[in-house]
Structure 1
Amino acid sequence: MRRIAIRSLTTAAIAAMLVVVLPAQAPQPVQSLFDAGQYQQVVDMTPADAPAPAVFLAGQSQQKLGNTAGAAALYATLAARPEADPWHGVGLAATALMQGNLDAALAAAQAAVNTDGALPEAHFQLGLVQARRQEWPAAAAAFDRVTQLAPMLAYAYYYGGLMHYRANRPDRMASHFETFLRLAPQAPERPEVLQIMRTIRGR
């Protein structure tokens, strides 16, 4: 019964992950607001000419608020960048993923990673796409790469933990969740994570 309960929780979280991304290079106050679920404030603090990481974060916040048109407009500004810019691929991938076009999303996310392998958001977007495709080990590896590039990026540990559970690595899941709770103590996902941790430890 415990495993069934956990699987149900993680399935819901995987669906939610498509609208929860925290760019590592966004301004710290905005990151803190996102971590606490203050999505409207994130949007309000992001001007039209904001740097790419902030625009990406605002797009994810718009999705959390249910404003798909607003999110699409923000992703379009990223996709409009030159092809040599990794944010072009990130924007295309985010748009395709939102539309359910998983093949196009994968190709664009992989192109972003190939263009700049040091950009955390490129690997994050790749992980999101692979998770939607149910490629659990690959998604876990993508989120792990984000934690190496941006150790303070809380949601890389959250989604990485979910992917490691799906990949039958509950030990890695527990480690990632502990870090997530430490980095984002006010995150909306905190009750869910605590419940999963209690269930795992109660086995």
Structure 2
Amino acid sequence: MGVARRLRLLDVARRFGHVIIEDDYDNEYRFDGRPILPLAARAEGDLPIIYIGSLSKLLAPGIRVGDAVAQPQILMQMTDRREALDRQGDLPLEHALAELIEDGTIKRHARKARRVYHARRDLMARLLRERLSEDTQFSLPAGGLAIWLRLNEGLSAETWAASAAELGLSVMPGIQFDLETVRPAEAFRLGFAGLDENELVRAIDMFERSKPTR
């Protein structure tokens, strides 16, 4: 969301008494322009916002540790329910991560990861423009870890995904992310973060070769 939409959302929440859950899992990966402040940084103190983040995107998917910022009474309710699900957690991991945060290691890692993912985003975008501009279109994302690739009329994302799977390439068609299942978006969510330069080139090559005929 841009700044204007975020402010409108705050206004709606204030007028109707809603609680906003702000899942800012990819906050560290803003590549273009200045970072947009989260809603939690703009809201007045009486507006209930639950701001949650994650270390799984920053470090590794297997690290299931996150953070939450909210009003004290909300945090107490969250703590009670969390204890009912998992009373102990992973204390050694949590203490290790706390030390990495305190000594600045996580912050330095985030800067390095941002440079790496920025380069991977730009490489995937260039390859898509060079190889598939006649059949697809996309807006270069200012942040995040994936490109939303829209297909031109006449192409089926599910058919394309099935064809790619036959070559050994797994891609997720838009129906996996769309609430509208009757006429889902003919699109793909293409993640670039987990692939190095050679893997990205190979993946887009396989993706191009698997394109079904109209």
| TM-score, length of structure 1 as denominator length | 0.23
Bigger strand fraction = 2
| TM-score, length of structure 2 as denominator length | 0.22
Bigger helix fraction = 1
| Structure with greater Cα Rg | 2
